[in-house]
Amino acid sequence: MAATAPIYKQGWSLDDVHWSLFDPEKVDPDLLAAVKAAALVEANAPDYVTYLKRVFRDGGEDILVAIERWGEEESQHGRALGRWAEMADPNFRLQDAFARFRKGYTPAHFKGDAAGSVRGSRRGEMIARCVVESGTSSYYSAMRDATEEPVLQEIAGRIAADEYRHYKLFYDTLNMQTEPDMSAWKKFWIAVGRIRESDDDELAYAYYCANVPSEEEALKPYNRKVYSRLSARTGIAIYRRRHIQKLVQMVVKVIGANPHGWLARGVGALVWRRLQKQASAAA
């Protein structure tokens, strides 16, 4: 496996992916399960687009266009991951699994037409989005480095690069807001709150719909605790110290602290130790 990854530019399409290099012998079953779930989450971007455009409905044409472009790229991530998963598992059907996921998962703030952010402000919303993009950029970087399957390496690398650009988009949007700035503690708690939301139904239910066929639902009913644990298992296994440190640096930066300072180093070390303990417990 190469020590350095290619640098992928913005604006790629599914036709740019080297699908002919797919090697079924190098498909890891645990990674396959994680990719299926990730495909559903990424494909759900249109709901986020609608919500963010409500939050920024009078924020100017540029940001509305940028949100649309972000959503299109996120949806493409879902299609790319789903196509790879269908190649790796001919029994998997992205559209069928996604239909089940959409039917069973709709956050309350996606409903209605209220203009306000559930984070309390546009600044708060952008902090939350930066936290998400920090996590996805590091996750797909870890996936790229963990797999030996060439096409998944490429797809994960392309997505990781996109997610880092999305982080920069939301970070710049955060700093463009005319709202009063928040204290570091307020930013910190918004970031922590968004991180804790990773335990909600989105990831767990996506994993369930992606990996439990509809005909087996009666025998294997959805259980958030069970499928949240299964969803997290792959991430725990593929992360390396450098991925965690980069994630922490990106989050620390958005709350206004030095991404290379003592806080980032300390939090990075704590998160890494926690992941190691979780990995040992799951072994």
Identify the sign of the CA torsion 71, 75, 78, 80: negative
Crossing angle of helices 262-282/241-254, nearest 10°? 140
SS3 content of the chain, % helix, strand, coil (to 5): 75, 0, 25
Compute and round to an integer the Cα radius of gyration of the chain: 19
Q: Is the pLDDT of residue 2 over 70?
A: no
Give the residue extent of every domain in the chain.
Answer: 28-240
CB 130 within 8 A of CB 231: no
The pLDDT of residue 197: 78
User: Percent of the chain beyond pLDDT 70?
Assistant: 94
Q: Which two tokens stand for residue 268?
A: 């990075």
Q: Is the pLDDT of residue 239 over 50?
A: yes
CB 187 within 8 A of CB 175: no
Distances (CA, A) of 256 to 63, 181, 261: 22, 11, 11
DSSP, res 181: P
Length of the chain: 283
Tell me which amino acid residue 199 is: D
Tell me which amino acid residue 11 is: G
Q: Is the pLDDT of residue 84 over 60?
A: yes
Binning pLDDT at 50, 70 and 90, where does residue 86 land?
very high
CA 123 from centroid of its chain's CA atoms: 20
Binning pLDDT at 50, 70 and 90, where does residue 283 land?
low
Q: Is the pLDDT of residue 152 over 90?
A: yes
Distances (CA, A) of 192 to 39, 42, 131, 198, 264: 25, 22, 9, 10, 14
Taking residues 36-53, what's their average pLDDT? 94
The pLDDT of residue 257: 94
pLDDT in tens, 59-76: 899 999 999 999 999 999
Q: What angle do CA 276, 277, 283 make, to 5 degrees?
A: 90
User: Percent of the chain beyond pLDDT 90?
Assistant: 75
Around 279, how many Cα atoms within 13 Å sit in the side-chain half-sphere? Answer: 13
Please tell me the CATH code under which domain 28-240 is placed.
1.20.1260
End-to-end CA distance of the chain: 25
- Please report which helix (H) or strand (E) contains residue 43, including its range: helix 29-43
Taking residues 241-249, what's their average pLDDT? 95
The pLDDT of residue 195: 83
Binning pLDDT at 50, 70 and 90, where does residue 5 land?
low
Rounded Cα gap, residues 141 and 86, in angstroms: 21
Q: Is the pLDDT of residue 199 over 70?
A: no
